[in-house]
Amino acid sequence: MKQTAEGTAVEARRLTKVFGGPGSEVRALDDVSLTIAKNRFFTLLGPSGCGKTTLLRLIAGFEQPTEGEVLLDGVDIARDPPYRRPVNTVFQSYALFPHMSVAENVGFGLEMNRKPAREIALEVERMLALVRLEGMGGRRPEQLSGGQQQRVALARALANHPKVLLLDEPLSALDLKLRKDMQIELKRLQHETGVTFIFVTHDQHEALTMSDAIAVMDHGKVLQVGTPAEIYETPVNRFVADFIGETNLLPASLTGRTGDEIRFRLDSGKEISGREHGGHDTGARVTLAVRPERAELATGPGGNGLPGTIDRVVYFGTDTQFRVRLKDCDTVFLVRRQNRSGHEASLSEGQEVTVSIPPEALRVLQD
Amino acid sequence: MAKVVTIGRHAERLRRFPGVGVTTAFFFAYLYLPIVIVIALSFNENRIVTVWTGFTLDWYPQVLANTDLIRAARNSVIVAVTASLIATVAGVTAALGLRYFRPRPAEETGTTALIATPLLVPEIVTAVATLIFFVAVGFRLGLMTVIIAHTVFCIPFAYLPIRARLQGLDPALRDAAFDLYADEWRAFRRVTLPLLWPGILAGALLAFIVSLDNFVITFFVAGPGATTLPVYIFSMIRMGITPEVNVASALLLMVSLGIVTLSLLLLKRRA
Ligand SMILES: Nc1ncnc2c1ncn2[C@@H]1O[C@H](COP(=O)(O)OP(=O)(O)O)[C@@H](O)[C@H]1O
Ligand SMILES: [Mg+2]
């Protein structure tokens, strides 16, 4: 059912949004440019207050940009009122109309678009079936559980066949189990309807597992756009590396290169080598990043290794985290290891080990 | 559930506190006994109101046959209905305007304070000022001046409950209406207004009752022929407390109670 129509659904061009007057200015969005392809599950990810909601509200039309353009299907809509934009929103609070039945809620957009009553009734049925709420049309929103209200909000938005569906942290109010179910449900809905989803979350795990593409935001800026794997494996800067998953950050300087081997000296004096230089020259100060699951632990001296002592062992079920205090510098290095049989007993707290880093696991970051 | 249990426990502990029962009884007696006495005495057979001799309904037809009193009651209703209606419309527009068309919340708070301040001005001051104003601009005192004066002092009473209700509404509801293709007017008609309705009813009711029983301002600005019921009752009482005064008071009270009950029923049916 997923259409293969290519092209751009939404484009933000140099979007800036400033709240408040002179003296109390808040730059909620700062010169954001972004292209969102059709039929994607696109996620805006960033810490609270980074401007995610503001960007959604600019696309929906609840706010006017201070500067810049919002293009929908190539047309600038930044000055259109929200009721003229073929875009619908699932609000964080769901915002179901409490004085209307579930069916009236779902049919509201169609009614406003002056569709005939019969058509509305059919579409409402179809939508309630799509979100698995058959037969609930006569209820009031307050008679539904949180998860069901969430589904009504989805049905209400999707009933209008929008070009883009905006979802502002729709899962944050749900408990963990329901949340996992809804994550799968949202993916299914996106797949079945072929509507472009723009999904907001501050949960990096959610973003990684659900998205076709992610934009990482901080302080009103988009720092990086890419697939989950790109964002995770090749973060462009320190913030992205730190925000997405666990990362070990090591301040170092670039000391030289031979062939495709790049050498760095850590502040502890230790030398390690990597494969990339991040565009820096010899002598430059850099930050190195290593994902915990990419490093290995050896009991003897290991290749490309940093000696240290195991500080703490934390068992996580599928894997185990080792906190290693590196020798000669006050840095804790995290290593994660899959819990396969044969591994368990070999390492314990207080033991001297070498953290061995494969050269291709070493990332060079901009600050 | 847990909350209900704790509240229940608190209530239980409070009830056992020595003296609570007596104080509560005294409080309610203080509040309601005078009213009960007035109603009871309106059924008193004896012309001397403080001496109970027996039950009678005779005073009621006698009062209802008093054309002056009936005219005063009619004036009261005309004034209260007109003033509370206008004040409610003003209250709704003020609340909506301040909420949705002011960029800064501080302006809303400031203006609300400004609208509510007349509630703190001693009524006699307002009465004198209003009278001076009408005389200065050359308005002839009559029913119209009463209506104008009542409308003005009713506005904060109508505005405050409406504003409270509006503040309690999730702003996302209005956004949702816009998002679902309702323009300003239809978002108001289909979403904001129905949800605001309890606040509007409460505001209108409060304004109506405040207007219905206003005495001081009315006394100052009512011209000949514009006497309202409270002013009429006051003029009756100058000749001594008669059974007619009690009956008129009891009737006024019943009208107020009737209106409150009616509006509560209306609200309940909507919910
Ligand atoms: N209506 C507003 N008035 C003033 N400041 C606002 C308004 N909306 C958002 N902001 C500010 O803009 C910044 C970004 O907010 P928001 O987009 O809600 O962030 P997020 O959704 O990522 O948590 C925050 O600093 C917030 O305080
Ligand atoms: Mg937000």
Backbone phi, then psi, for B9, in 5-degree steps? Answer: -65, -40
Provide the b/e sequence for A270-279 (b: ≥16 CB within 10 Å): bebbbeebbe
- The backbone region for A95, taken as left when phi is positive above 0, alpha when psi lies in -120 to 50, beta otherwise, is left
Where in chain B is CATH 1.10.3720.10? 60-268
Check CB contact under 8 Å for B179 and A88. yes
- Give tens-digit pLDDT for B34-86: 889 888 888 988 888 788 888 988 889 988 899 999 999 999 999 999 999 99
- Nearest CB to A95 within list B104, B175, B190: B175
Structure tokens at B265: 């029923």
- Give tens-digit pLDDT for B109-137: 889 999 999 889 999 999 999 999 999 99
Residue B192 Cα to ligand 2 midpoint, Å, equals: 23
- Please tell me the distance from the alpha carbon of residue A347 to that of residue A308, in angstroms, as a whole number: 13
Please name the amino acid found at residue A2.
Answer: K
- Give tens-digit pLDDT for A45-103: 999 999 999 999 999 999 999 999 999 998 999 889 999 999 999 999 999 999 999 99
Regarding the beta carbon of A52 and ligand 1, being less than 6 Å apart is answered yes
User: Which DSSP category does A224 fall into?
Assistant: E
**Domain identity same for A221 and A258:** no
- Please say which residue of A175, A207, A238 terminates a domain: A238
Sheet holding A67-72, edge to edge: A26-37, A8-19, A67-72, A75-76
Cα A162 to Cα A9, A112, A166: the distances in Å are 11, 14, 10
The pLDDT score that the predictor gives to residue B103 is 64
pLDDT reading at B2 higher than 60: no
- Please tell me the distance from the alpha carbon of residue A31 to that of residue A16, in angstroms, as a whole number: 5
Question: Any CB–CB contact under 8 A between A54 and chain B?
Answer: no
C-alpha R_g of chain A: 25
Give B55-123 as a DSSP string. Answer: B--THHHHHHT-HHHHHHHHHHHHHHHHHHHHHHHHHHHHHHHHHHS-S-HHHHHHHHHHHHGGGGS-H
- Nearest CB to A83 within list B172, B173, B183: B183
Cα A1 to Cα A8, A79, A194, B188: the distances in Å are 19, 33, 7, 38
- Tell which atom from ligand 1 comes closest to the C-alpha of A17: 12
- Which residue lies with its CA nearest to atom 6 of ligand 1? A19
Whole-complex ipTM:
0.85
Regarding the beta carbon of A51 and ligand 1, being less than 6 Å apart is answered yes
Q: For A198-202, B5-9, B135-139, B202-206, which range has the lowest pLDDT when averaged over its residues?
A: B5-9
Beta-bridged to residue A337, according to DSSP, are: A320
- Please tell me the distance from the alpha carbon of residue A54 to that of residue A70, in angstroms, as a whole number: 13
Q: A1 lies in a domain?
A: no
Burial of A346 (0-12, 13-18, 19+ CB in 10 A): exposed
The pLDDT score that the predictor gives to residue B17 is 79
Residue A52 Cα to ligand 2 midpoint, Å, equals: 6
Regarding the beta carbon of A53 and ligand 1, being less than 6 Å apart is answered yes
User: Nearest-CA distance from A109 to chain B in Å?
Assistant: 4
Mutate to test the pocket of ligand 1, among A25, A29, A54 (most ligand atoms within 8 A of CB): A54
Q: Which of A356, A361, A359, A363 has its CA nearest to residue A277?
A: A363
Cα A20 to Cα A26, A219, A267, A364, B170: the distances in Å are 6, 16, 44, 38, 22
Question: Any CB–CB contact under 8 A between A101 and chain B?
Answer: no
Residue B6's contacts (CB-CB under 8 Å, 6 or more residues apart) are none
- Please tell me the distance from the alpha carbon of residue B243 to that of residue B42, in angstroms, as a whole number: 6
In B, which residues are within 8 Å of A84 by CB distance? 181
Residue A24 Cα to ligand 1 midpoint, Å, equals: 13
Q: Is B252 helix (H, G, I), strand (E, B) or coil?
A: helix
Regarding the beta carbon of A25 and ligand 1, being less than 6 Å apart is answered no
**Domain identity same for A316 and A198:** no
Check CB contact under 8 Å for B178 and A88. no
Q: Which of B165, B174, B179 to mutate to test the interface with A (most CBs of A within 10 A)?
A: B179
Closest chain B residue to A88, measured at CA: B179
Q: Which residue has the tokens 């304070």?
A: B113
Domain, as residue range, for A120: 8-238
pLDDT beneath 50: ranges in chain A: 1-4
Regarding the beta carbon of A49 and ligand 1, being less than 6 Å apart is answered yes
The pLDDT score that the predictor gives to residue B271 is 56
Regarding the beta carbon of A68 and ligand 1, being less than 6 Å apart is answered no
- Please tell me the distance from the alpha carbon of residue B172 to that of residue B81, in angstroms, as a whole number: 34
User: Nearest-CA distance from A94 to chain B in Å?
Assistant: 8
Which runs of consecutive H residues, i.e. helices, occur in chain A? 52-60, 102-112, 117-130, 146-158, 176-193, 204-210, 228-233, 238-243
- Please tell me the distance from the alpha carbon of residue A296 to that of residue B7, in angstroms, as a whole number: 57
**Domain identity same for A67 and A125:** yes
Q: Which of A 112-141 lie inside 8 A of B, CB atoms? A: 112-113
Q: A132 lies in a domain?
A: yes
Structure tokens at B137: 């601009």
Q: Which of A72, A31, A38 has its CA nearest to residue A223?
A: A31
pLDDT reading at B16 higher than 70: yes
**Domain identity same for A59 and A124:** yes
**Domain identity same for A185 and A254:** no
Give the distance from CA A190 to its chain's centroid: 16
User: Which DSSP category does B190 fall into?
Assistant: I
**Domain identity same for A214 and A66:** yes
- Residue pair A86/A163 in contact (Cβ under 8 Å)? The answer is yes
Average pLDDT across chain B, whole number: 89
**Domain identity same for A21 and A149:** yes
> Any idea what the CATH number is for the domain that residue A21 is in?
3.40.50.300
pLDDT reading at B143 higher than 90: yes
Q: Which residue has the tokens 């600038």?
A: A76
Check CB contact under 8 Å for B181 and A95. no
Residues in chain B: 271
- Tell which atom from ligand 1 comes closest to the C-alpha of A200: 21
Q: Which of A77, A90, A99 to mutate to test the interface with B (most CBs of B within 10 A)?
A: A99
Query: Which is more confidently placed, A207 or B267?
Result: A207
Q: Considering Cα of A63, then A68, then A72, then A77, what sign does the dihedral take?
A: positive
The pLDDT score that the predictor gives to residue A1 is 40
Question: Any CB–CB contact under 8 A between A18 and chain B?
Answer: no
DSSP H or E stretch at residue B135: helix B123-137
User: Nearest-CA distance from B167 to chain A in Å?
Assistant: 15
**Domain identity same for A265 and A211:** no
Q: A2 lies in a domain?
A: no
**Domain identity same for A271 and A171:** no
> Any idea what the CATH number is for the domain that residue A278 is in?
2.40.50.140
Check CB contact under 8 Å for B179 and A93. no
Burial of A291 (0-12, 13-18, 19+ CB in 10 A): buried
Q: A3 lies in a domain?
A: no
In A, which residues are within 8 Å of B199 by CB distance? none
- Give tens-digit pLDDT for B165-191: 999 999 999 999 999 999 999 999 999
- Nearest CB to A97 within list B104, B186, B191: B191
**Domain identity same for A189 and A54:** yes
Residue A184 Cα to ligand 1 midpoint, Å, equals: 29
Q: Is B124 helix (H, G, I), strand (E, B) or coil?
A: helix
Look up the pTM and report it: 0.83
C-alpha R_g of chain B: 23
**Domain identity same for A195 and A283:** no
**Domain identity same for A225 and A250:** no
- Residue pair A149/A140 in contact (Cβ under 8 Å)? The answer is no
Q: What is the fold, at CATH topology level, of the domain defined by B60-268?
A: MetI-like fold (1.10.3720)
Residue B41 Cα to ligand 2 midpoint, Å, equals: 64
Please name the amino acid found at residue A146.
Answer: G
Q: What share of chain A is helix, strand, coil (3-state, %, to 5)?
A: 25, 35, 40
Structural domains of chain A, count: 2
Closest chain B residue to A87, measured at CA: B179
Residue A177's contacts (CB-CB under 8 Å, 6 or more residues apart) are none
- Please tell me the distance from the alpha carbon of residue A40 to that of residue A204, in angstroms, as a whole number: 18
Residue A87 Cα to ligand 1 midpoint, Å, equals: 21
